[in-house]
Amino acid sequence: MLAGKKVVVVGGSSGIGLSTAELATREGAEVIIASRNADRLNAAASTLGAKAMPTDVTNDESVENLFRNCGPVDHVVVTAAQLRTGPFKTVAMEDVRATMEGKFWGAWRVARSAEIRPGGSLTLVTGYLSIRPRPNSAIISVANGALESLTRALALELAPVRCNAVSPGIIDTPIRAAMPEAARRDMLAKTAASLPVGRVGVGEDIARQILAFMTIGFATGSIVYLDGGGLVT
Ligand SMILES: NC(=O)c1ccc[n+]([C@@H]2O[C@H](COP(=O)([O-])OP(=O)(O)OC[C@H]3O[C@@H](n4cnc5c(N)ncnc54)[C@H](OP(=O)(O)O)[C@@H]3O)[C@@H](O)[C@H]2O)c1
């Protein structure tokens, strides 16, 4: 489905981004993955047969360099994020600013710098907290909500480039690597039991939606909530 297409996955060394890079490679695309940790990035790229370009989305120049080196591309996906949060009244301003800097401004920088061919696409990854908030994570709700507004705005302003977003529920990826293993497993098991589908998500569940956005030329300004039924339970 993607033969002859150039795809950039920013955040492609892990989790949802890595699954997206795998699927796009399987569908015949030339894939470039970008993230900060060069060792992890190079290891993922060599397994995939993709190109690695070390990039930090919190840095204007780093993102500009990435797309200067890529040249015109067909599809861009942003999964990069490192989230810092805590109780609203006490969480450090430095932490909430860092969350916005990576997740929201990172996507903004990518959208400004990428040269996407007409009819190509930009896909952002938001998250269920935008419409199903939880205590102690207001900044993540805000970042996700802002990205959803940005998606709709860019669908108009970047046309004929298309812009869409996928909002995942709980997906088992390395994003929770810092949690104690027993607590992580317990949280995932409880979530799985609470969902109509009886399981949490895997990276490929979201990657398949991202590939649908790349390949359905009628999709723009769309936000798909993909959460195993989390929003209806
Ligand atoms: N997993 C879930 O349950 C879930 C639920 C809802 C929403 N989401 C959203 O889905 C997206 C992907 O999450 P994931 O679970 O795939 O996370 P992940 O496995 O931790 O992957 C995050 C990727 O982003 C890269 N990254 C982080 N900060 C970066 C920066 N400043 N510049 C460039 N690259 C950066 C990481 O590599 P380096 O650290 O080496 O840079 C890594 O490749 C995130 O936006 C997350 O908020 C996830």
Atom of ligand 1 minimally distant from the CA of 36:
41
pLDDT of residue 167: 98
d(CA 27, CA 147): 27
Does an H or E element contain 124, and which? strand 116-125
pLDDT of residue 225: 98
Kindly indicate the confidence band of residue 108, based on its pLDDT and cuts at 50, 70 and 90: very high
Q: What is the pLDDT of residues 67-98, one digit of tens each?
A: 999 999 999 999 999 999 999 999 999 999 99
Atom of ligand 1 minimally distant from the CA of 101:
31
Instruction: Average the pLDDT over 145-159 and give the result.
Output: 98
Take residue 6 and report the two structure tokens written for it.
């150039």
d(CA 195, CA 226): 12
Residues with CB under 6 A from ligand 1: 11, 13-17, 35-37, 40, 55-58, 79-83, 102-103, 106, 125, 127, 168, 170-171, 173-175
Among 67, 63, 62, 74, smallest CA distance to 29 is for 74
Furthest C-alpha separation in the chain: 51
| CA 187 distance to own-chain centroid | 22
pLDDT of residue 30: 98
Q: What is the pLDDT of residues 120-139, one digit of tens each?
A: 999 999 999 999 999 999 99
What residue owns the CA closest to ligand 1's atom 34?
35
Q: What is the pLDDT of residues 7-30, one digit of tens each?
A: 999 999 999 999 999 999 999 999
Kindly indicate the confidence band of residue 153, based on its pLDDT and cuts at 50, 70 and 90: very high
In the reported structure, the alpha carbon of residue 189 is separated from the centroid of ligand 1 by a whole-number distance in angstroms of 21
In the reported structure, the alpha carbon of residue 34 is separated from the centroid of ligand 1 by a whole-number distance in angstroms of 11
HSE-CB at 98 with a 13 A cutoff on CA atoms is 10
Long-range Cβ contacts of 87-95 (<8 Å, 24+ apart): 87/135, 87/136, 88/136, 88/138, 91/136, 91/139, 95/139
Structural domains of the chain, ranges and CATH numbers in brackets: 6-175+203-224 (3.40.50.720)
What backbone torsions phi and psi does residue 33 show, to the nearest 5 degrees? -115, 145
